[in-house]
């Protein structure tokens, strides 16, 4: 059972994105409906089970672990999980422990995260306008997120902003966002909006802003240099020569990046999704609880990796949400 995790397309799986909760303290319009029904707490894996699950993946060759949600920092006692996972960093079995957060609770936990071995984090932020922020998150206050960013930087964490590119919403903030990050030494990654879950009356196709257009706008003001950088995820990077900053582009719609996919996602209930853009999943909670040993769990993980598809089918070109997933992004874990 020491063989590495290799999928049917010869891609090594070295990156696990683990959702620790489907709950969130925001209700972002492209991610959730306003009146979400969340899972009963009894259905979630315990923190001890999440530890065992992650440790098994690490034993099978996973080198990067990203904690997601929902919003991971709303999970009760989540810092004890980070503290426990830090042992894999100390042993050298894990290269990186990180998380994606909306930043709302970050001021409370930034120093503890650094102490647990986290060195860089992603913060989701789509606008620097307080009124627009309240509108897109439905419940959020921009000042709390800015406070979290300041706390993270003060704690020594490297911060990257993740911004979903939304037509007619933050197009006019492209250069404000780049300047905000440049002034603080932060990377910035733009993400195309993906067809995940039913948003009620929200028009996701109308929200879609192709990053090819965004890049053209950047090129009209800056000298762009393509970079070979890879951070374990799907982003490709460019440098703005005038500021020296790095901009990431995640383009599942305009450029399918599936050929280099090295990751799987596990939900807070122990479902493994080997592709964000496919419905297929497998249960790991049953095997996890089947015995105190890990052999059954390891076999279930390998079986799931063995059925990993070649890629997603996201497509807006026909004017509808082609390849739409029934589950919300918050369920899968971003």
SS3 string, 153-178, reads HHHCCEEEEEEEEECCCCHHHHHHHH
Q: Is 194 annotated as a binding residue?
A: yes
Q: Is 236 annotated as a binding residue?
A: no
Q: Is 124 annotated as a binding residue?
A: yes
Q: Is 160 annotated as a binding residue?
A: yes
Q: Is 28 annotated as a binding residue?
A: yes
Provide the residue ranges of all domains of the chain, joining segments of one domain with +: 15-160+260-332
Q: Is 261 annotated as a binding residue?
A: yes
Q: Is 31 annotated as a binding residue?
A: yes
Q: Is 164 annotated as a binding residue?
A: no
Q: Cα separation of 224 and 247, whole Å?
A: 10
CB atoms inside a 10 Å sphere around CB 58: 18
pLDDT at position 51 is: 98
E strand spans, 114-270: 120-124, 158-165, 187-192, 224-227, 236-240, 245-250, 263-266
Run of H or E residues at 285: helix 285-290
Angle 146-15-174 from CA coordinates, rounded to 5°? 35
Q: Answer whether 216's CB lies under 8 Å from 235's CB.
A: no
Local confidence pLDDT in tens for the 334 residues of the chain:
567 899 999 999 999 999 999 999 888 887 777 777 888 888 899 999 999 999 999 999 999 999 999 999 999 999 999 999 999 999 999 999 999 999 999 999 999 999 999 999 999 999 999 999 999 999 899 999 999 999 999 999 999 999 999 988 999 999 999 999 999 999 999 998 866 455 455 555 667 888 999 999 999 999 999 999 876 667 889 999 999 999 999 886 555 556 778 899 999 999 999 887 677 799 999 999 998 899 999 999 999 999 998 765 544 444 444 444 455 555 566 5
Q: Answer whether 107's CB lies under 8 Å from 148's CB.
A: yes
E strand spans, 56-125: 64-68, 96-101, 120-124
Q: Is 263 annotated as a binding residue?
A: yes
Predicted TM-score (pTM) of this structure: 0.87
Report the CATH architecture of 15-160+260-332: Alpha-Beta Barrel (3.20)
Q: Is 11 annotated as a binding residue?
A: no
Residue 307's contacts (CB-CB under 8 Å, 6 or more residues apart) are 8, 274, 280, 282
Q: Is 54 annotated as a binding residue?
A: no
């Amino acid at each position: 059972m020491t063989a590495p995790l290799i999928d049917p397309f010869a891609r090594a799986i070295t990156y696990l994105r683990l959702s620790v909760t489907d709950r969130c303290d925001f209700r972002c319009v492209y991610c959730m409906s306003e009146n979400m029904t969340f899972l009963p707490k009894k259905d979630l894996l315990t923190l001890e089970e999440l530890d065992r699950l992650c440790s098994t993946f690490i034993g099978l060759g996973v080198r990067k672990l990203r904690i997601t949600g929902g919003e991971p920092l709303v999970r009760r006692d989540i810092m004890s999980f980070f503290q426990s996972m830090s042992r894999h960093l100390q042993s050298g079995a894990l290269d990186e422990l990180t998380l994606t957060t909306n930043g709302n609770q970050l001021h409370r936990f930034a120093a503890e995260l650094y102490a647990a071995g986290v060195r860089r984090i992603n913060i989701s932020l789509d606008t620097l306008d307080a009124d627009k922020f309240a509108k897109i998150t439905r419940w959020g206050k921009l000042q709390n997120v800015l406070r979290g960013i300041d706390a993270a930087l003060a704690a020594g964490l490297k911060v990257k902003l993740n911004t979903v590119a939304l037509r007619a919403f933050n197009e006019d903030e492209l250069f404000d966002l780049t300047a905000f990050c440049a002034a603080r030494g932060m990377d910035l990654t733009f993400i195309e909006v993906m067809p995940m879950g039913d948003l009620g009356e929200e028009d996701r196709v109308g929200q879609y802003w192709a990053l090819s257009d965004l890049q053209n706008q950047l090129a009209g003001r800056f000298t762009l240099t393509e970079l070979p950088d890879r951070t374990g995820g799907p982003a490709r990077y460019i440098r703005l020569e005038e500021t020296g900053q790095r901009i990431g582009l995640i383009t599942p719609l305009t450029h399918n990046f599936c050929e280099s996919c090295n990751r799987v996602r596990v939900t807070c209930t122990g479902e493994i999704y080997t592709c964000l853009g496919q419905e297929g999943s497998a249960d790991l909670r049953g095997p996890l609880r089947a015995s105190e040993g890990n052999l059954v769990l390891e076999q279930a993980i390998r079986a799931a990796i063995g059925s990993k598809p070649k890629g997603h089918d996201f497509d807006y070109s026909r004017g509808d949400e082609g390849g739409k997933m029934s589950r919300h992004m918050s369920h899968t874990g971003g």
